[in-house]
Amino acid sequence: MFYRITWLALLSLLRRNDKDVIKIYDIFGDLMKTTTGGNMLNFGYWDKEVKDPFEAQIKLTNMLGTFGSFFNAKNILDVGSGYSIPALKWLAEYPNLNLCCIDINYNQIIEGMHLLKENHKLKQETLRIFSVINLENRLFHINSTSTFLAVKNDTMDRIVAFESAHHFRPLKQFMREARRILKRLGFLVIAIPVIVNNSQGSRLTNLKDLGILKITWASEHYELEFVKSLIEENGFKIDEIRLIGSSVYQPLASYYLKNRTHIRNIILTHYPNFLEVIINKSMSRMKRASENGVIEYALFRCTKY
Ligand SMILES: C[S@@+](CC[C@H](N)C(=O)[O-])C[C@H]1O[C@@H](n2cnc3c(N)ncnc32)[C@H](O)[C@@H]1O
């Protein structure tokens, strides 16, 4: 275990390819599950009602569904779907929806499918799988990369990349695929961590200060303006950009710092002490980066014309 974690820390400093991203999520996914008690892999949206990370993740999942007008969609492609928990939540919320989950990580796809099969049997409250009518005919899985999607042209009403597009390389190729697959007037919906205020310091300083994001963020650290221009260059019209970083990074870090003793004890049952020390430090850095306006969390809704 020690070597796996050291290797993870090293990987976070190096340039990464898709295989490295898969390995990082094999380890990081377990860590997230251990600390949150659930199977979602996003940072969550924290408002006054939210009490823990899982509630924040549910809130962000719901927010994305509303933001992306899922209520009047029929077919959705979720690229970078993780363990398919956001997909299950959307299917429970919108009864007319069919959803196809795509992820590059085979283990996550398999575990997502397993959760589906066992859905009715699961009693474990922390998994909190939602009750979905006719699930087996509405949810599908593909193990694939974001840049070559085995989906027919002009078939989807929505394509969603929920905290996953920062891993896609080249991001341009994903945009092209999204444009090909979406129906006319369909929406591309992206939730993505971005760098904003790069002019205030050297790029190196900013990257050092990314905190916990440095562990999961691929070597391309996309800037807000870059993502905007890429979307427009690839034939989409941006309808709305919502910047929610202050309700994502800062409260998550505050939650960690406030509950550190408890979370530390959970982490130490599976991981070495030094990993918790790194996480703790990274949380403070991430909070500072957000307060200083270096990082943002952007929601994009874009129409294909
Ligand atoms: C932060 S997790 C988010 C997972 C899920 N959307 C959620 O909110 O629980 C990012 C996911 O993107 C997937 N991913 C990374 N690179 C990918 C790629 N090139 N193509 C498809 N999926 C990718 C990872 O395996 C991981 O499951």
Reported as a single tens digit per residue, the pLDDT across 79-127 is 999 999 899 899 989 999 999 999 999 988 998 888 777 665 554 444 4
Q: Using an 8 Å Cβ cutoff, are 192 and 300 in contact?
A: yes
Burial code of 64-74, b = ≥16 C-beta within 10 A, e = fewer?
Answer: bbebbebeebe
CA 161 – CA 71 distance, rounded (Å):
17
201: left (phi over 0), alpha (psi -120 to 50) or beta: beta
State pTM to two decimals.
0.88
Nearest to residue 163, comparing CAs of 200, 122, 117, 217? 217
Ligand 1 atom nearest the C-alpha of 39 is: 9
The pLDDT, as a whole number, for residue 175 is: 96
pLDDT for res 266: 86
- Cα of 54 from ligand 1 centre, angstroms: 17
- Order across the sheet with 295-304: list the strands: 139-143, 98-103, 75-79, 156-162, 182-195, 295-304, 236-243
- Name the residue range of residue 115's domain: 2-304
Q: Which residues have C-beta within 8 Å of that of residue 277, sequence separation ≥ 6?
A: none
200: CA distance to ligand 1 center in Å? 30
- Model confidence over 29-46: pLDDT tens digits? 777 777 777 788 899 999
Residue nearest to atom 17 of ligand 1 (CA): 104
Contacts of 82 (CB under 8 A, 6+ apart): 29, 39, 40, 41, 42, 103, 105, 108, 112, 164
> What domain count does the chain have?
1
For β-strands 295-304 and 182-195, DSSP reports them as: antiparallel
Give tens-digit pLDDT for 223-273: 999 999 999 999 999 999 999 999 999 999 999 999 999 888 988 888 888
**pLDDT tops 60 at residue 206:** no
pLDDT (0 to 100) of residue 177: 97
pLDDT at 204: 43
What confidence score (pLDDT) does residue 87 get? 93
Task: Spell out the residues 6+ positions from residue 3 whose beta carbon is closer than 8 angstroms to its own.
Answer: none
| Residues near ligand 1 (Cβ within 6 A) | 18, 21, 25, 40-42, 79-82, 85-86, 102-105, 108, 145-146, 162-164, 167-168
CATH of the domain at 268: 3.40.50.150
Q: Residues 120-179: pLDDT tens digits?
A: 555 444 445 567 778 888 999 999 999 999 999 999 999 999 999 998 989 999 999 999
Amino acid at 152: K
Atom of ligand 1 nearest to the CA of 167: 16
